[in-house]
Amino acid sequence: MRVGVVGLGMGLHLATWCARLGIDVAVVCDRDPAALARAAEALPRARRVSDWRDLLEEGLDGVVLANDFDAHAPLAIAFLEHGVHVLSETAACADAAEGRRLVEAAERSSATYSLAENYVLHPHVRLIREALPEIGRITHIEADYLHSMSPEGIGGLIADPDHWRGRIASTAYCTHSLSPILALTGARPVQVTAFSADTSTPRQASVMAVRLSTGALALTRNGFLSGEPDSHWSWVSVRGERGLAESVRAQGDRAWSVRVRTEGWTHADGGVREEERVPRP
Ligand SMILES: NC(=O)c1ccc[n+]([C@@H]2O[C@H](COP(=O)([O-])OP(=O)(O)OC[C@H]3O[C@@H](n4cnc5c(N)ncnc54)[C@H](O)[C@@H]3O)[C@@H](O)[C@H]2O)c1
């Protein structure tokens, strides 16, 4: 399989892993010469180009899009129209109209469109999924994608209006919180209300309330809020009709563990069951 990779920040990481898995990374693309130079060291055999359009006629099987967060759709549509499979890392589109065009292009194309969302496969999310039969129908579910950082650290990431992190709204990077919710419930969002967490720093963090097609209510927190331990940035909590399964807010590897509680009334002996489960290695 021959692939190309566009955008060589996170994209270089993905390109390197493609190569390790035996996928032929034939072309890498970035408009920044420094990023291309780093790629030359990591993947010396790949052709390096600065314009993604050069990849369209390369006869590639697939392309990994890891360019600016809010600019994937036009590239995805162009590659799909050329019969090239697309893996988009992480966002799909910037608004509903672009989303419709992308869906139409994917339906017309002989190639497939995939949205990469790694947070649905994190160890704590897998453990919670395994516990779902015990806790019963989901009534309420929460997920956080949060970073605790100094004001200087946050400014370093989101203060530059010329970088995608500096121009997207605080609600935009909700993929890593909402995707585990949709994966665990099998639901679709039907109604969304979103707020910035603090109007004095509106770009830093958001809170979203999402009505799901199953009837349950989801809450997500996204962005930069203080107080998070070293928790892999992801915390998920699921309340079912019979109990609860939620990841432990803790430092280090314990943050992958999950507390599962089933209420006493659900057991013949009336006793509550509560334990902390550790993911398999
Ligand atoms: N799933 C995850 O855990 C995860 C983690 C980090 C980033 N990401 C995703 O990866 C994507 C990139 O994020 P990043 O942190 O690497 O950003 P980044 O800004 O560090 O890197 C993006 C790179 O793409 C290049 N680029 C942008 N537009 C281009 C274009 N039209 N043509 C050629 N090159 C172009 C830029 O020059 C830059 O080198 C985003 O969509 C982000 O959401 C996902």
**Is residue 52 in contact with ligand 1, taking CB distance under 6 Å?**
yes
Q: What distance in angstroms lies between residue 35's CA and the mean position of ligand 1's atoms? A: 11
Return the C-alpha torsion angle 252, 144, 124, 120, nearest 10. Answer: -130
State the average pLDDT for the chain. Answer: 96
**Is residue 89 in contact with ligand 1, taking CB distance under 6 Å?**
yes
Q: Which fold has domain 2-116?
A: Rossmann fold (3.40.50)
Class of domain 119-277: alpha beta
List, in sequence order, the alpha helices (H) in 52-174: 73-81, 96-108, 123-135, 151-158, 164-167
Q: What distance in angstroms lies between residue 67's CA and the mean position of ligand 1's atoms? A: 4
DSSP label at residue 231: S
- Residue 195's pLDDT is what? 97
Q: What distance in angstroms lies between residue 64's CA and the mean position of ligand 1's atoms? A: 11
DSSP string, 129-151: HHHHHHH-SEEEEEEEEEE---H
pLDDT in tens, 74-108: 999 999 999 999 999 988 898 999 999 999 999 99
pLDDT in tens, 196-249: 999 999 999 999 999 999 999 999 999 999 998 877 889 999 999 999 999 999
Location of each CATH 3.30.360.10 domain in the chain: 119-277
| Mean pLDDT score, 176-182 | 96
The yes-or-no verdict on residue 161 having pLDDT over 90 is yes
pLDDT in tens, 7-35: 999 999 999 999 999 999 999 999 999 99
Name the pLDDT band for 254 (thresholds 50, 70, 90).
very high
- Residue 230's pLDDT is what? 75
The yes-or-no verdict on residue 185 having pLDDT over 80 is yes
Location of each CATH 3.40.50.720 domain in the chain: 2-116
Q: Whose CA is nearest to atom 12 of ligand 1?
A: 66
- Residue 129's pLDDT is what? 98
